[in-house]
Amino acid sequence: MLYHILVFLSDICCLLPASVARFIGKILGELTWIVVPKKRKQMAMHNIERCLKVSTDKAEQIAKKSWTRFGPMIMEVLRFKVICKNIDKYVTIKGEENIKKAMKWLGLYWDEGIDVGGENGPYRQTERLPLYNAAVQRLLEEGKAYYCYCSADELEESRKEQLKEGKTPIYNNHCSHLTEKQIEQYKSEGRKPAIRLRVPKDGVFAFDDMVPGHVEFQTAGVGDFIIVKSDGIPVYNFAVVIDDASMGITHVIRAEEHLSNTPRQIAIYQALGYEIPKFGHISLILGSDHKKMSKRHGATSVDEYRKMGYLPDAVVNYLALLGWSPKGEREIFSREEPISEFSMKRVSANDAVFNIEKLNWINFQYMKKLSPDELFQVALPFLVEAGYVSLPLSLEKEQWLKDVVWFVRDHLYYGAQTPENVKIFFETHPKITDEEKISIMKQENSAVLIRQFADALDALDPFDEDSIKKCFSFLMKKTGIKGKAAFEPIRIALTGETHGPGLYAMIALFGKKKSVQLLKDSLQYC
Q: Are strands 352-353 and 213-218 parallel, antiparallel or unpaired?
A: unpaired
Report d(CA 137, CA 146) in Å as an integer. Answer: 10
Report d(CA 66, CA 73) in Å as an integer. Answer: 11
SS3 451: helix
Report d(CA 102, CA 92) in Å as an integer. Answer: 15
SS3 281: strand
Element (H, E) at 231: none
Contact 311, 367 (CB under 8 A): yes
Q: Which of 53, 295, 327, 431 is catalytic?
A: 295
Question: In the annotation, is 39 catalytic?
Answer: no
Nearest CA among 378, 313, 306 for reference residue 102: 306
CB-count burial class (<10 Å; 0-12, 13-18, 19+) for 460: middle
b/e code 171-191 from CB counts within 10 Å (16+ = b): bbeebeebeeeeeeebeeeeb
Report d(CA 486, CA 497) in Å as an integer. Answer: 14
> 343 CB contacts (<8 Å, ≥6 apart)?
none
Computed on alpha carbons and rounded to an integer, the radius of gyration of the chain in Å comes to: 35
Count Cβ atoms below 10 Å from residue 10 Cβ, excluding itself: 16
Torsion angles phi and psi, residue 146, rounded to 5: -155, 160
Report d(CA 16, CA 326) in Å as an integer. Answer: 60
What are the DSSP E strand ranges found in 128-190?
Answer: 145-148
Element (H, E) at 213: strand 213-218
Q: What are the residue numbers of the active site?
A: 295
